[in-house]
Amino acid sequence: MPLPLSRPSPLDGAFNFRDLGGLPAAGGYRIRHGRLHRSDTLQALSAADVGYLRQAVGLRTVIDLRLAPEVAEEGRGPLGRHGDIRYFNLPLGMASAEGLAPDEILTALYLSCLAPGSALPRALERVAEHADEPLVFHCAAGKDRTGLLAAVILRLLRVGEAEILADYQATAANMPRIIERFGGWPRYRDHIASMPAAVYAADAPSFLRFLAALDETYGGAEGWARANGVADETVARLRAALLEPA
């Protein structure tokens, strides 16, 4: 069954955090609970949040998809003080939206992440490398960069399109709080002011065009991964770590 569109975060300081465990995959499998998490920025976690992630989740790896200037300006947050949690910054840049119509922007941004030179393949490799222990990947809002990495991972795990779309759209319920908070952070406040409102929506047509490009241009997520230097062994490792019988 597709995920519900509203999935409350267990964290006070990250509004879009969720475990992807339980999603059904082809062949009678499902994603293991407690291994694969996605989130918005972790820079504002509370002490209770840190305790939850370290003790209840057992978090061992953070994969940060924000650009280097974002990380420098906004910071890693309190998890950065814990050296037992691995941290990787793999900036996932997107194409310029200048000159595009509002309803074209997200599609252009999303498709640019499939192009050669994108950090998406390297982020996928990091996930596969550390998926045998609890990890989280995140960007700022946890919608676009995080959503695309989640989609590629879920496609490689053979999760159905309806479930992948539902997970992407689950972010919609969290965006009002995220946008409100961004209003107090100058970097993101200024970006919101410069962009059409549609850019901060979880837009299903744009996301579906991204999924369609995986199939039409590359013959699926596996074909895209191979074309971008991701070894078949990496995909096999991802599946071995994250799938279990349903």
CA distances from 32 to 60, 143, 195, 245 (A): 16, 22, 37, 9
Q: Please give the helix or strand (H or E) that residue 29 lies within, else none.
A: strand 29-31
Parse the chain into domains and list their residue ranges: 18-95+103-245
Question: Dihedrals φ, ψ of 176, to 5°?
Answer: -55, -45
User: Is 3.90.190.10 the CATH number for 18-95+103-245?
Assistant: yes
User: What pLDDT, on a 0 to 100 scale, did the predictor assign at position 2?
Assistant: 46
User: What pLDDT, on a 0 to 100 scale, did the predictor assign at position 95?
Assistant: 87
Closest by alpha carbon to 110, among 189, 21, 6, 198?
A: 198
pTM assigned to the model: 0.96
| Residue 173 CB neighbour total at 10 angstroms | 16
Contact 14, 42 (CB under 8 A): yes
Active site residue 139: yes
What one-letter code names the amino acid at 1? M
Question: Dihedrals φ, ψ of 71, to 5°?
Answer: -65, -45
Polymer length in residues for the chain:
246
- Active-site position among 23, 114, 139, 211: 139
Q: What is the pLDDT along the chain (246 residues), one digit of tens a residue?
A: 444 445 689 999 999 999 999 999 999 999 999 999 999 999 999 999 999 999 999 999 999 999 999 999 999 999 999 999 999 999 999 988 788 898 899 999 999 999 999 999 999 999 999 999 999 999 999 999 999 999 999 999 999 999 999 999 999 999 999 999 999 999 999 999 999 999 999 999 999 999 999 999 999 999 999 999 999 999 999 999 999 999
What single DSSP character describes residue 49?
Answer: H
How many CA atoms, within 13 angstroms, populate the side-chain half-sphere of residue 79? Answer: 28
Contact 148, 135 (CB under 8 A): no
> What is the spatial distance between Cα 203 and Cα 182, in angstroms, rounded to a whole number?
19
User: What pLDDT, on a 0 to 100 scale, did the predictor assign at position 96?
Assistant: 81
